[in-house]
């Protein structure tokens, strides 16, 4: 069974879908006011590992990841650049999807933008009015009265005695000390410019929290299986989502909640003032690959703080080279074999330990430990028969359906270098060693290494 740590119960629980062995998953996506930073991608990487493991376990999945394109930050950025909100946020939406491809993160089934779901938000707020769980203030904003929802604070484990119902907080993000009535709808102010919608209670725009409640309900229903995000989202964002969703619909919002811990850079909280604030693009510009960054972001248990360091990235490069070397030996051993044999004992042990680790709340350290132990034992098993090597290669690909970094990226070898490698084979057949050496050196000068294998020459980037 696959056990996860449910933030709501503070316990490990078996993940059992509500219906049809199909997990309906909501994951908090980016606020598209800037390029996403590596702290954001730590969360998206955890959710990608979770998604892939759910599929590995034979369950279906429908994932919704929202794009917050209207909030305090996006409006401020739009005004500062003089661009319409939609044009301003589109740049960062496009960048986000490019980054997902770079990191080999599987796409969700739905990416709703907040601005495309305003009618659903208005409908949800109308329901809250009907239930006595919304009131309009003098400035035209609409608030949720937390004292009228007895379970308010159950996710964050807030002390209800310290809550200040009647006091109002209208900013999107605030401290736990500010547990107070929160904004469902913000009345129009001049600073919002042309970012405004009509509603039954006046012109304005939605609050941040109502966006996710409306979008999750639209695509996943009133009750769904699993909601994920960073620990910083537990309060106020997820607490407020629960209150307004369960208050409006009178039923459970999400059965399970999973939250990932923060990311640090070189042992410190990431901040521009520390000079350790990096977007994914800035890491790529330093010469690291998406595959190396993926390995770094995925390699620490999601509930542990991840210390992102460049020394670790360099170590990842060496670790991936070890894995690639093993995979290359497997492919050579397969030769032209098309029928897989039985898995050798060491590989069966690897598979068993890998699965047991990830079934334990995505214990990635245990899974990677099993992988490298397997590679160590596998290296002692060469030479390997073609049938055996093919069976191990199939397991390798199955494991990579979860990890997403095992199979080395295919390199496009220039046609002229392939011709030179083949010409070198002919030169060696003719015992023209000088010509063979010249061709090898020319290939090396172009940045490639030629390796002689039983199935012919292989070219590898230096």
Tally of domains in the chain? 3
Same domain membership, residue 255 and residue 317: no
Where is the domain boundary, 357, 382, 403? 403
Residues 444 and 383 in one domain: no
C-alpha to C-alpha distance for 71 and 75, rounded to whole angstroms: 6
Reply yes or no on whether the pLDDT at 461 is more than 80: no
Residue with tokens 């894995």: 323
Q: Same domain for 180 and 34?
A: yes
pLDDT digits (tens, 9 = 90+) for 123-178: 999 999 999 999 999 889 999 999 999 999 999 999 887 777 778 888 777 776 67
Q: Which residues of 294-326 are buried (b: 16+ CB within 10 A; e: fewer)?
A: bbbbbbbbbeeebebeeebbeebeebbeebeeb
- Residue 431 within any structural domain of the chain: yes
Domain assignment present for residue 12? The answer is: yes
For residues 395 and 246, membership in a common domain is answered with: no
- Alpha-carbon span 389 to 186, nearest angstrom: 62
Is residue 220 situated within a structural domain? Answer: yes
The CATH number of residue 317's host domain is 1.20.120
Residue 279 lies in a domain: no
Helix residue spans in 250-304 (DSSP H): 280-285, 290-298
CA–CA separation, 367 and 399 (whole Å) = 10
Of 67-76, 315-324, 452-461, least confident by mean pLDDT is: 452-461
Same domain for 256 and 334, yes or no, is: no
Same domain, 390 and 443: no
Do residue 371 and residue 445 come from a single domain?
no
Q: How far from 207 is each of 71, 133, 140, 174, CA to CA, in Å?
A: 7, 15, 13, 13
Q: Kindly state whether residues 350 and 429 are assigned to the same domain.
A: no
pLDDT-based confidence at 454, cuts 50/70/90?
low
**Are residues 369 and 349 both part of a single domain?**
yes
Average pLDDT rounded to a whole number, residues 43-54: 98
Give CA–CA dist 148/243, Å, rounded. 10
CATH of the domain at 163: 3.40.50.620
On the question of pLDDT at 32 being above 90, the answer is yes
Q: How far is CA 314 from CA 114, 192, 235, 388, in A?
A: 39, 45, 36, 33
Question: Is 332 contained in some domain?
Answer: yes
Q: Give the residue ranges of the annotated binding site for Zn(2+).
A: 28, 212, 237, 241
User: Which residue, 260, 285, 319, sits at the end of a domain?
Assistant: 260
Alpha-carbon distances, residue 65 vs 98, 157, 462 (angstroms): 15, 26, 39
Domain holding 381, by residue range, is 311-403
Q: Which residues are documented as binding site for ATP?
A: 272
What Å distances lie between residue 96 and 6, 34, 384, CA to CA? 28, 10, 43
Token pair of 328, please? 């290359």
36-45, 89-98, 206-215, 418-427: which has the minimum mean pLDDT?
Answer: 418-427
Domain annotation covers residue 305: no
pLDDT tens digit string along 244-281? Answer: 999 999 999 999 999 999 999 999 988 777 788 899 99
Instruction: Kindly report the pTM of this predicted structure.
Output: 0.90
Known binding-site residues equal 28, 212, 237, 241, 272
Q: 73 exposed, middle or buried (CB, 10 Å; 0-12, 13-18, 19+)?
A: middle
Judge whether 410 lies within some domain.
Answer: no
- Looking at the structure, tell me whether residues 364 and 442 fall in a common domain: no
Query: Is 306 inside a domain boundary?
Result: no
| 334 and 428 co-located in one domain | no
Task: Choose one of 229, 260, 291: the last residue of a domain.
Answer: 260
CA dist 250 and 257 (Å) reads 19
Express each pLDDT in 310-367 by its tens digit.
Answer: 999 999 999 999 999 999 999 999 988 999 999 999 999 999 999 999 999 999 999 9
Query: Are both 372 and 419 inside the same structural domain?
Result: no
Cα(157)–Cα(182) distance, integer angstroms: 18
Tokens of 98: 């490019």
Note the maximum CA span of the chain.
93
Q: Which of 384, 387, 392 is nearest to 338 (CA)?
A: 387
Residue 175 three-state SS: coil
Q: Which of 38, 39, 65 lies closest to 50, judged by CA?
A: 65
């Amino acid at each position: 069974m696959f056990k996860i740590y449910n933030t709501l119960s503070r316990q490990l629980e078996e993940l059992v879908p509500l219906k049809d062995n199909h997990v309906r998953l909501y994951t908090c996506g980016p606020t598209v006011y800037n390029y996403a930073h590596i702290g954001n991608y730590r969360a998206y990487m955890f959710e990608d590992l979770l998604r892939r493991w759910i599929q590995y376990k034979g369950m279906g999945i429908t994932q919704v990841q929202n794009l917050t394109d209207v909030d305090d930050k996006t409006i401020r950025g739009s005004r500062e650049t003089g661009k319409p909100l939609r044009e301003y946020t589109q740049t960062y939406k496009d960048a986000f999807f490019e980054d997902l491809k770079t990191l080999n993160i599987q796409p969700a089934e739905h990416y709703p933008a907040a601005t495309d779901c305003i009618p659903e938000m208005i409908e949800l707020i109308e329901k809250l009015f009907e239930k006595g769980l919304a009131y309009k203030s003098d400035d035209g904003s609409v608030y949720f009265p937390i004292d009228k929802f007895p379970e308010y604070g159950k996710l964050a484990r807030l002390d209800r005695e310290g809550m200040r119902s009647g006091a109002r907080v209208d900013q999107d993000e605030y401290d736990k000390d500010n547990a107070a009535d929160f904004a469902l709808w913000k009345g129009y102010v001049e600073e919002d410019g042309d970012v405004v919608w009509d509603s039954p209670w006046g012109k304005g725009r939605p609050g941040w929290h109502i966006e996710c409640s409306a979008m999750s309900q639209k695509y996943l229903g009133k009750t769904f299986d699993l909601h994920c995000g960073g620990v910083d989202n537990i309060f106020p964002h997820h607490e407020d989502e629960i209150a307004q969703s369960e208050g409006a619909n009178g039923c459970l919002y999400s059965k399970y909640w999973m939250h990932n811990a923060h990311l640090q850079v070189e042992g410190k909280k990431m901040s521009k003032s520390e000079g350790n604030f990096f977007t994914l693009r800035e890491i790529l510009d330093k010469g690291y690959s998406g595959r190396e960054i993926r390995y770094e972001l995925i390699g620490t248990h999601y509930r542990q703080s991840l210390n992102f360091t460049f020394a670790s990235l360099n170590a990842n490069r060496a670790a991936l080279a070890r894995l690639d070397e093993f995979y290359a030996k497997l492919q050579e051993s397969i030769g032209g074999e098309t029928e897989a044999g039985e898995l050798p004992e060491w590989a069966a042990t690897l598979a068993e330990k890998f699965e047991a680790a990830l079934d334990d709340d995505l214990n990635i350290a245990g899974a990677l430990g099993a992988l490298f132990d397997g590679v160590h034992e596998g290296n002692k098993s060469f030479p390997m028969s073609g049938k055996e090597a093919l069976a191990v290669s199939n397991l390798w690909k199955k494991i990579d359906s979860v990890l997403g970094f095992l199979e080395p990226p295919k390199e496009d070898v220039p046609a002229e270098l392939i011709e030179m490698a083949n010409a070198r084979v002919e030169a060696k057949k003719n015992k023209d060693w000088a010509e063979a050496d010249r061709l090898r050196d020319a290939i090396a000068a172009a940045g490639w290494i030629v390796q002689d294998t039983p199935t012919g020459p292989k070219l590898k980037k230096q």
